[in-house]
Chain A
Amino acid sequence: MKRLLGRVIATAGLLAFSASAMAEDWTPPGPIKLLIAFAAGGGADTQARMIAAELEAAKGWKIIPEQATGKGGLNAVKALNAAPKDGTTIAMIVTESLGYNMRAANAGGPDAATPITTTAGSQMAVVALTSKGYKTLGDVIEAAKGGEEIRFGAMSPALGDLAYVIGKENGVDFNIVQVKGGKAVMNGLNAGDLDVGFGAGIQAKAVAAGEMVELASAKSGSLPGTPDAPLLTEYGVEFTNDTMFLIAGPGGMDPAAREGIAAAIAEVLNTEGSEAAGFIKKGFGGVDLRAGDELAAFIQEGYDQAGGLLDASAE
């Protein structure tokens, strides 16, 4: 029995070692096209390009970044699926692309793309300028109930729906303004065109400087910059936005390529002194790597939950 157990453990160890060695050994057969589902020059685009540059330096791979914006990442997913599945075409999207956006557009299931690895989470919060005088989301709701028109900036349809549900659950009607990107929300707040808006982490510097305040966490957990900020559940909202930046490949991608790319990205982002990791820490709260079954389950959960938000915001 002892001998059998020993063999089982040895075999399991060997299998684990082979899988890890396979990921280490994988090299792309040619240049990798990196589709970026975000506007050029923004935080997400910069993050993707910095990771690409560090992968090139560390692994000797050739990576060619290319913008593929539109439809909340679904255009990038569509382009992915017209490409070979051998790891030579990947995309930087968000988990929301395979969840809410996929479901809202009725464009298929989350298996339309192969999730490779996340790179970072978001610090999704409801944000306002400190000068507005709001301390929490409750103050904004009270102001709306008092007849004040609240212009609420959202940078994705899912966040627009979330803002709508916040209003609905609290008996107020926000003027929800859909803008392109988190930077546009910040610009809108600073220019006085918006009263409150969502920030995915871009607000961190302004919050630290006391220029902005995080009125509520739109995540399922607390915010590192404002740990005392209330959660949306305190306002009767059962939905959150835990979207993460995601590197994905075409649906049905070669598993060796998937593991090889995930391992390489983990290697560069875990390297001491990585500029990409430093940028991610400043802009998005820090590197957050999830891959394999854990990532697949996270994406499936997001897709399943999206149905609830869609239903709640359609009422």
Chain B
Amino acid sequence: MLRSLSSSHILGLVCILATVLALAVWIPLDIETGLIEKVRRQTSIGDSLLPTLACGFVLLGGLFLFLPGKDSGEALTGVNLRYLILLLVILAVAFAAMRWLGPVLVWAFTEEGVYRNLRDTAPWKYVGYITGGTILVSGLLAMVEGKVTVRGIVIGLIATLALILVYDLPFDDLLLPPNGDV
């Protein structure tokens, strides 16, 4: 069935399924308040209004893409799928390195052993961010260029260091990812 659908149709279908899942499962299970809350004479916006509206817009977009008779575009090809999978793999590897490399290295090489306690201590606080950030930028460059180059890796490293320079060094109380959430 997928072969007979265009890439636009598949994208529309993914949007519809994702929003139906969010509206039927995620929002009711994870958000306590409704769309509009009337508590003790006060009417206020419930926590689920914004995600429900956002889902509504995505659902609408999905339906437009999926509607029959629309310009169907090209069929989904192996190249499309490879591109998508490669993109997701680069993102997953980069974010996994950003989140877990620091804790693993602290566990392996320090007496302290607990990354949370060193999350504001150099060099540990930079390990995940630099590695993950470099993988992210240089990986995306390599994907677009079709090859891994030293130049791409250096650009990734410089971009990451520049972000540290802007967001970390001047501020005493700001933590780089993932250190605010560990």
Contact = CB atoms under 8 A, between A and B. Distances in A.
A314 B42 CA distance: 12
A314 B114 CA distance: 49
B90 interface: no
Given A66-B180, A176-B41, A314-B40, A88 B116 contact: yes
B118 interface: yes
Given A29-B117, A30-B114, A88-B117, A157 B40 contact: yes
Nearest to B43: A178
B111 interface: no
A160 B43 CA distance: 13
Given A64-B173, A64-B175, A66-B180, A84 B116 contact: yes
Interface residues of B, number: 13
Contacts of B118: 30
Interface string A48-65: 000000000000001011
Given A29-B114, A30-B114, A64 B120 contact: yes
Interface string B45-68: 000000000000000000000000
A284 interface: no
Contact of A313 (B40, B114, B116, B175): B40
B2 to A, nearest CB: 40
| A interface residue count range (under 10 / 10 to 19 / 20 to 34 / 35 or more) | 10 to 19
Contacts of A104: 39-40
Interface in B129-144: none
A71 to B, nearest CB: 9
Contact of B117 (A30, A64, A66, A178): A30
A314 B120 CA distance: 48
Interface of B: 39-42, 114, 116-120, 173, 175, 180
Q: A-B pairs with the 10 shortest C-beta distances?
A: A30-B117, A31-B120, A29-B117, A64-B173, A178-B42, A62-B120, A30-B116, A65-B173, A157-B40, A161-B40
